């Protein structure tokens, strides 16, 4: 198995640069990406079994591993929702699959999305994690255009151990995330 391109970049360029920039004495204390969580709500497709199956298949295709359904914790009559009903789908990716997904996200998918001008810096929280909303899942190269009758949105969370917003931002910029210029 070969090491993903982004992981090599992280090891050879980003770690020494972050170590020098933040004066970190130990390599193990350098901020790194721990996992990527991909979520999508089922929404109007609650009654549509074919749509839900397609949603699960597409998210599994994007991430490289099987997606998990999220169930409603309580019933809400206003939304016609029953406890235990599937209301979302989620997958957590780590390791090589994570680096492959991030590489495809920043180099192929985001530039393909409509009116993309960069990621807002405010999408990074105080712990250095990045939250992205993707309006259309068909920007990923794995999804074929023939099967894009149902277009759904995704929420992608890139979790780091940076501990602060500035360290997280530095990590993402060095990895090549396309941020908006202020």
pLDDT single digits (tens) 46-92: 677 777 788 888 888 888 899 888 887 888 788 777 887 777 889 99
Per-residue confidence (pLDDT) for residue 94, from 0 to 100: 92
Distances (CA, A) of 174 to 4, 9, 79, 88, 158: 16, 9, 43, 33, 15
Quick check: 62 and 142 in contact, CB under 8 A? yes
Length of the chain: 182
Rg, the chain, Cα only: 18
Domains and CATH numbers, the chain: 5-175 (3.30.1440.10)
Predicted confidence (pLDDT) at residue 181 exceeds the cutoff of 90: no
Comparing CA positions, the residue from 133, 131, 111, 115 lying closest to residue 123 is 131
Closest alpha carbon to 139 in 115, 99, 105: 105
- Position 160 scores a pLDDT of 92
Using alpha carbons, select from 65, 15, 70 the residue that is nearest to residue 41: 70
Question: Looking at the predicted structure, is the pLDDT value of residue 166 above 70?
Answer: yes
| Predicted local confidence at residue 34, as pLDDT | 93
Is pLDDT of 148 > 60?
Answer: no
pLDDT score recorded for residue 46: 67
């Amino acid at each position: 198995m070969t090491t993903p391109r982004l992981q090599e970049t992280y090891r050879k360029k980003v770690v020494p640069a972050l170590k020098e920039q933040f004066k970190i004495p130990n390599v193990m204390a350098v901020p790194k990406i721990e996992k990527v969580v991909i979520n999508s709500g089922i929404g109007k497709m609650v009654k549509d079994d074919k749509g839900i199956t397609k949603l699960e298949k597409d998210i599994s295709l994007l991430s490289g591993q099987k997606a998990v359904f999220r169930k409603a914790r309580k019933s809400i009559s206003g939304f016609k929702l029953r406890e235990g009903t599937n209301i979302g789908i989620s997958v957590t990716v780590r390791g090589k699959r994570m680096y492959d997904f991030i590489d495809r996200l920043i180099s192929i998918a985001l530039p393909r999305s409509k009116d993309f001008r960069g990621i807002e810096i405010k999408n990074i929280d105080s712990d250095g994690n990045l939250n992205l909303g993707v309006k259309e899942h068909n920007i990923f190269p794995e999804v074929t255009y023939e099967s894009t009758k149902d277009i759904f949105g995704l929420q992608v969370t890139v979790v780091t151990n940076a501990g602060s917003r500035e360290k997280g931002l530095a990590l993402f910029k060095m990895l090549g995330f396309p941020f908006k210029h202020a």
